[in-house]
Chain A
Amino acid sequence: MSRQPPLTRPRHRSPGGPAVRSRRRREHQRVALLFLAPTVLIVGALVAYPILHTIWMSLHSADGSRFVGLANYVEMFTSPNTRRAITNNAIWVIVAPTVVTAFGLMFAVLTERVRLVNAFRLTLFMPMAISFLAAGVTFRLVYDEDPDRGLLNAALVAVHDSFAPSSPYPGATVRAESGLRSTDDGAVLTSTPVAAGEVVYLPLVGLPADQLPPHAAPAAEPPAGPGLSGVVWRDFIRGGGGTPGAVDAEEYGLPGVTVEVLRAGEVVATTTTDAQGWFTFPELTGGGYTVRLPADNFAEPFRGLTWLGPGLVTPAIIGSYIWVWAGFAMVVISAGLSSIPREAVEAARMDGATDWQILRLITIPLIRPVLTVVVVTLVINVLKIFDLVMVLAPESVQPEASVIGLEMYHASFTQLNTGLGSALAVLLFALVLPGMAWRARVLKRQEARRGELL
């Protein structure tokens, strides 16, 4: 490709015979070696030796004393923990670079049209200035399950509660000794049929005293008949005491509880309790009724999602990774965008192409090399992901969230199994190699092209 004359061919014949020349060449070689020596030494000691030593250790037992052949590699691919780590790494490699690049492209294209481009880009790029450790700690607070602590769940709860109001008595259940039954979803029912003229007692417990509404009045025996009547009350006196299932002094009625009367599975009447917890259905006659307090009286308030639970932990951590790296992708892609010939875009616009068509048919094909560089850089980066997972995943779900890097750390430093740890390191090394080789080739090609331009 290069049109420069090869450097090895001398332009002028040097004076002297072949013997002189070969001596000179030897001298040249000696000098070259002398200059190369420090680099060779440093690279050897800091790169080559550790790699070879890791491979050597990966073929030895946990404490490095016995040669075990490929046993560590067999364990690596058969033990469920490491296999899950490898699967998770695969998910990471497929999802994270793609999404980060997509976001980067989106930001790059959109910010081109914003007025304060640089301020905008700077803001998006800012997370890159934060270490993964700090980002992990921050996102720990974002993802915390408790809406009082976790930002994301606080937002979810706020949105949810503005559409669905919370129940009046969350968590309240029926007193165990009362002879009532409760369904799995929390509804309370009488277990034997009741008839008009009877009084139904519905004692509830599990309610903090401070959760009673201010207008709640002390509960009292409700008058019997006409029709069906009853009382719903908090069957607990401060400091204990009283008879379970009976309306005692100092016990409070629960106002605002929805009460349903069922007959043969059909709701025949509905009402709500008053300040003393009383309810009446004067119009009902006969018997065979069931009284039910529907579950939405007692539904636990919406508490958001368990972001860092076994199911969502990997997507959640990938989310924080995207937050950190999207800015990087945007900056690199923006640089690529600015080198696109304006004529191509303008010509397409003249031809009546829409923005979407321009992006899809002109922009993306033209910056494809840049996109590939971004993706490959991210793939290499994602393969060795460690710190975010270590910091973000709670200990109880670390097995579910584990990646090769984390497994390598735990094998080497918590279980002190350097053999398995080294085997994992070798695997990681082998996985990173193709990407590295590709990047090196691209760089070389770019340099060659630059040389051509000069």
Chain B
Amino acid sequence: MVRSVSRLVALLVTMTLVVGCAGRPSRPADGPLAGQAVEVAAIWTGAEQAAFLAVLEAFEARTGATVRYTSGGDDLPTLLNSRLAGGSPPDVALIGQPGVVTQLARRGVLAPLTGEAEVAVRSHYSPEWVELGTIDGTLYGVYYKVANKSVIWYRPDAFDEAGVRPPRTWEELHQVTRTLADAGVGTMAVPGADGWVLTDWFENIYLRVAGAERYDQLARHEIPWTHPTVVESLTLLQDYWSADRAIQDDPLQLKFVQAVADVFGPRPKSSMLFEGDFVAAEIIRLGMVAVGDGAAFFDWPSIHGSPPAVVTAGDQAVAFTNRPVTMALIAFLASPEAAEIAARRGGFLSANQGLDPAAYPDPVTRELATSLRNADVLRFDLSDLTPQSFGGGTNAEMWRLLQGFLADGGDPQQVAEQLEAAAQRAFRSPA
């Protein structure tokens, strides 16, 4: 799962076992749900939390209900599991891993979205997004916040210096990288210390090489990881990673946050960084260059003439109770009004069709949202769809294998076989 929040913060949260509860003074309010309390849990802290609280306040003002927000940090699934074991889950949780949502739904602890919540989701979201929130034919979740993980960020001044333009095809990407290397302005930073970045690399190539159908099949492990399309994707990945001077040295020691600083910081070492829209938040936090001016992005290049495709991720709001106030809150989160409040504050992309793109505060965010909306092929982050031990966390096997592949190279066929062996273990065990 992708977090732009520093891992450190997550560690602090985990290790001190502090669950930050952000309570706000409750104001007496009138409304249809006055006096009712509802609890919602998500991973957000800091600015993201503040933006979410603004949305919750609007809900309170509208309905009179009181909302309590619990931040679970990066280990939200662990928090939810222990709360479930204790018999008191929050009413609503925003979960980033569809695999976790599927597990919870199959365990029967989630409440299906009904009534006004279901109506809101079906009327404001495209069928693809509704489908992503549906498990075994029942609607369980709505994607409140989404990410565009098919963009590559770059420094326009470095591109000017080298005289190159953003590439549109895979071959052009190779060429641009070579020219950047010749110009001595630095090339691609690959933060291999964070395994999730590498899974995103693979997924973007795989979606373009194999197409959406095979992508879905691989996500469900209906085709093996030794499939020729996987081997081909790994080969393309290796071609790029091992090309002369194509990536910054010692990638396995480079963490995502440091990579952002290595590209957009005071002493740039590289001029490109592949990761999702949330890179913008890190660039803003660094404060060295302005997004849209000293930092720009291009869509992930097409491979073998593939159509515009986007790998996406997102936080899904699910319900653990079916109280009216719970459903009302989900319905509100699925509404264009809520999306607009969050969008105006920045650092937020929505898949809500009712949202006016003018609500995004800057052209870059608007462009990111547009590219997400215009994609011919839209697929969810594959590693997040697989069991946690395979694709979704520190020590996950896919992360480790790709890290080894990045560091030591190796035969793509062999790596594919290792991935398959790991996938078989992960998909067999019930956890």
Contact = CB atoms under 8 A, between A and B. Distances in A.
Interface of A: 61-63, 65, 81, 133, 137, 145-146, 148-149, 171-173, 175-176, 205-209, 211, 235-241, 306, 308-309, 387, 390-391, 394-399, 410, 413-417
Given A306-B250, A394-B253, A395-B399, 6 more contacts: A62-B429, A65-B430, A240-B162, A413-B78, A414-B389, A415-B393
**Interface residues of chain A: helix, strand, loop or mixed (majority):** loop
A239 B184 contact: no
B388 interface: yes
Contacts of A81: 395
A238 B163 contact: yes
A394 B250 CA distance: 13
Contacts of A205: 181-184
Given A208-B184, A239-B160, A390-B11, A414 B393 contact: yes
B15 A395 contact: no
B182 A306 contact: no
Contacts of B400: 399
B11 A206 contact: no
Contacts of A417: 389, 429, 431
B163 A390 contact: no
B429 A414 contact: no
Given A208-B185, A236-B183, A396 B81 contact: no
Contacts of B193: 394-396
A242 to B, nearest CB: 10
B194 interface: yes
A137 B8 contact: yes
A254 to B, nearest CB: 12
Given A62-B431, A145-B253, A396 B184 contact: no
Given A62-B429, A171-B184, A415 B388 contact: yes
A398 B195 CA distance: 11
A360 B192 CA distance: 50
Nearest to A149: B258
B184 A207 contact: yes
B245 interface: yes
16 contacts: A61-B430, A62-B429, A171-B184, A176-B178, A208-B184, A237-B163, A238-B163, A239-B162, A395-B194, A396-B253, A396-B407, A398-B395, A410-B394, A414-B388, A416-B81, A417-B431
Contact of A415 (B244, B252, B431): B431
Interface string B35-54: 00000000000000000000
Contacts of A207: 184
A390 B8 CA distance: 11
A394 B431 contact: no
B403 interface: yes
A414 to B, nearest CB: 4
Nearest to A241: B163
Contacts of A237: 163
Given A206-B181, A410-B395, A416-B388, A239 B253 contact: no
Q: Which of A63, A209, A394 counts the most chain B CB atoms within 10 A?
A: A394
B27 interface: no
Contacts of A133: 11-12, 15-16
Nearest to A207: B184
A388 to B, nearest CB: 11
B179 interface: yes
Nearest to A235: B182
Interface string B219-255: 0000000000000000000000000110000101101
A134 B185 CA distance: 36
A363 B62 CA distance: 78
Contacts of A62: 429-431
A387 B179 CA distance: 44
A237 B164 CA distance: 12
Contact of A206 (B15, B184, B399): B184
A452 B160 CA distance: 86
Contacts of B389: 414-417
B376 interface: no
B362 interface: no
Contact of A236 (B16, B182, B388, B430): B182
Given A62-B431, A387-B15, A395 B184 contact: no
Nearest to B406: A396
Contact of B253 (A236, A308, A415): A308
Interface in B181-229: 181-185, 192-195
Interface string B239-281: 0000011000010110100100000000100000000000000
Interface string B408-431: 000000000000000000000111
Given A395-B193, A416-B431, A309 B163 contact: no
Contact of B395 (A146, A306, A308, A399): A399
Nearest to B395: A410
B356 interface: no
Contacts of B160: 239
Given A62-B429, A133-B15, A390-B11, A396 B192 contact: yes
A132 to B, nearest CB: 9
B225 to A, nearest CB: 19
Contact of B182 (A206, A398, A413): A206
B75 interface: yes
B171 interface: no
Contact of A396 (B182, B183, B403): B403
B180 to A, nearest CB: 10
Nearest to A146: B258
